[in-house]
Structure 1
């Protein structure tokens, strides 16, 4: 195996060739810090005719953020790159501020990418981010998924995210910027040891740990994670998937190691609900204990029903009743509904209307029927497409067997 190229930009360009070489349009998330500014310059020089756009998310958490976003806009304009400022409008002060801000950032960028027809959004994570994340998660007692290296690419929020700079270090990127006389913005929060990441960054520096070695360790853990994912895919090869449910054979599930069982449950729940993130580990472990005991259990909106021969994953009826149809015809993040006439709406059938819908004749179990999409005119039930025909309404599942296999293999 050849040694990595000594030039960090050459490594990044090679990664871009591999990750985005066939993409006609790409976005870049640029905060103004050294890492993302370096990424903007590298991609601009690499693009060779591709359409490139830049976006900055203004979280509004510091008074300087509007001026910083304006500065990034000026830098992008100097490179002939279109730039957009995406402002986060916080709806609530509840929850973890940093986690909420990160989630909002991805959602804002995903919406921007989709509106502009961008095939992917590139992020400025570096080898230093890999090392810091590994140490933080070690301190939290994370499992192998948490300790594994950040993936070079992943799909989330309906967008592909690229990390082409994971082979480059923060210091060498700043040296490259200085050599080109390119400035960047130093975020004062990067000196605030109230944040876990900054404390771990200081610890890595204080102990003289090799960032590249830590990043390699995270990559090795990632290889082990991938091996477990392949094992899980083999254990799920006989799963029955369709009509909004997943059925796993009990024997293959029960004879698999605990980590494989956990992966299968997480993938099945995400497939049922379409959630971007897996259930919390503690809740998942509770669900696994219930399955082992042969008890029904709900997990993040998924109803899990174990029997002697199979484990059935379906939508929890109470969660389906809370779902509302979206403007694009998607209902409950599970079904795409089209052909609705004026005055018709979609809502879950619910357990109180099972007899009205003659659910026993459908062959669907009670809870699956209750969570099914139903067509209503006011309070009158018009049709339940999965149970019996009605008006010419088309209903299509958003996910099939291929998506489940992908979620089993997901990072």
Structure 2
């Protein structure tokens, strides 16, 4: 029976239809709190995908293991397989940030192990509003102020947020009306966490969530317009050996924000980074490029030459990339290498071997060639597949022009 229009079920199921309608298997990031518990029940009622659930136990306070176990019992009551993912913290630094990164990594590994198409996250309209205000306090640009995306790829997994248009209070009312309980996390009362202080301030000010949501939509439309303009300015872009060439006249003629977007997307294209670099170093790099000077940023060399802005991998950065083995081998976040034999590994070629490889015949610059993958066994170079054909071995860039264009629209 279809849910009535306007109800929590109808809105959540419509979002799931749009985001996950063609996906056969979905994971649920289940903390046991009200948001993720509602998400689990709503996804189960949607009924269009096989579901699994996982709970990350950060082990940061007494009772967390019991809460993870109770979350598992709640999933089992719906016939949903559940797994607890423990985290053992190492080092210091920002606790909330470290826990967030660990949660994402653990859930992504879990999703890969079980072949899940995507992982559902229980972020709500309240989380959107909190994120907007937190980013305002940090001086974020337009992309940051647009809030969280309902669809995002990170850590090799697809993440979906179908509840972003539904408030936390609506979800708890929905659960209460059905006699469904949830776990209240005591850390949500800790005033030493910035987000919790902000949440309490929002409640005290009685900020209107629908109006904040409308502001997010308005900002999102402005972002999409800029992304479209940036894509137009990038017409004629070329890619080779994992690098990117942008037409220089269109780049220099574009407004400052469009140049920034093109450079940021280009940096991420070359490196595969999941997040854009900070604004200040990007602005400095743009100023240098406008003067015709070469810059290095985020492990990428950017230089203008013969009507093009060339973005290539910095050889020193490729030399720092960890060696990898296996078949296929994914190296430096940039290359997929197939055909490796046991004992062989992929590492950067580097400058030293180039003189004996006829690198000029490849059409690549010396730095481009040095940053390409080499096939090594111990200290012996066995093959340089981009410079000389190597029987049975192939190296393919992980990204091409379609991925670059997509990066202009996704931040």
TM-score by length of 1: 0.95
- Partner of residue 268, structure 1: 266
Residue of structure 2 equivalent to 1:232:
230
From 125, 142, 152, the equivalent of 1:127 is: 125
1:250 maps to what in 2?
248
Deviation at 1:283, TM superposition (A): 2.2
Match for residue 377 of structure 1? 377
Give 1:116's aligned residue: 114
Matched, 1:106 2:107: no
Residues 383 and 391, structure 1, Cα contact 8 Å, conserved in 2: no
1:60 paired with 2:51, answer no
Alignment TM-score, normalising by the size of structure 2: 0.95
Q: Distance in 1 between matches of 2:46 and 2:363?
A: 57
**What SS class does the counterpart of residue 387 from structure 1 fall into?**
coil
In the alignment, the residues of structure 2 paired with residue 342 and residue 27 of structure 1 have an alpha-carbon distance, to the nearest angstrom, of: 34
Q: CA deviation at 1:326?
A: 4.8
Tell me the equivalent position of 2:35.
35
Alpha carbons 1:270, 1:277 under 8 Å: kept: yes
Q: CA deviation at 1:5?
A: 4.3
Alignment of 1:3-402 (within 5 A): 5-48=5-48, 50-93=49-92, 95-307=93-305, 309-323=307-321, 324-327=323-326, 328-402=328-402
- Partners of 2:266 and 2:175 in 1: how far apart? 45
5+ unaligned residues in a row in structure 1: which ranges?
Answer: none
CA deviations on 1:357-390 (whole Å, 9 max, x unpaired) are 2323322111101111112333233321111223
Contact map agreement 2:241 2:368 (CA 8 A) in 1: no
Deviations 1:200-248 (A, max 9, x none): 2122222221012112211211111111111111111211112211001
Which deviations, in whole Å up to 9, do the C-alpha atoms of 1:63-100 show, x marking residues without a partner?
2211110010011111111001112233432x322222
Cα separation, 2, equivalents of 1:17 and 1:220:
24
Query: How large is the Cα RMSD of the aligned pairs?
Result: 1.7
Query: For the residues of structure 2 that align with 1:280 and 1:88, how far apart are their CA atoms?
Result: 28
Structure 2 unaligned residues grouped into runs of 5+: none
Take 1:326 and 1:210, find their aligned partners in 2: how far apart are those partners? 53
**In 2, Cα distance between equivalents of 1:153 and 1:402:** 18
Shift in alpha-carbon separation, 1:294–1:399, aligned structure 2, 3 A: same
Between Structure 1 and Structure 2, how many residues are aligned?
406
CA contact (8 A) 1:128 1:215 kept: no
Aligned residue for 2:355, secondary structure, equals: coil
**How much has 1:322 moved relative to structure 2?**
1.5
Q: Deviations 1:99-149 (Å, cap 9, x if unpaired)?
A: 222122112111111221211111101111111111111111110011003
User: How far is the alpha carbon of 1:308 from its aligned partner?
Assistant: 5.4
Question: Could you tell me how far apart the structure 2 residues matched to 1:211 and 1:280 are?
Answer: 29
CA-to-partner distance for each residue in 1:145-168, whole Å, 9 max, x for gaps? 110032221222222111111111
Distance in structure 2 (CA, Å) of the matches to 1:158 and 1:186: 31
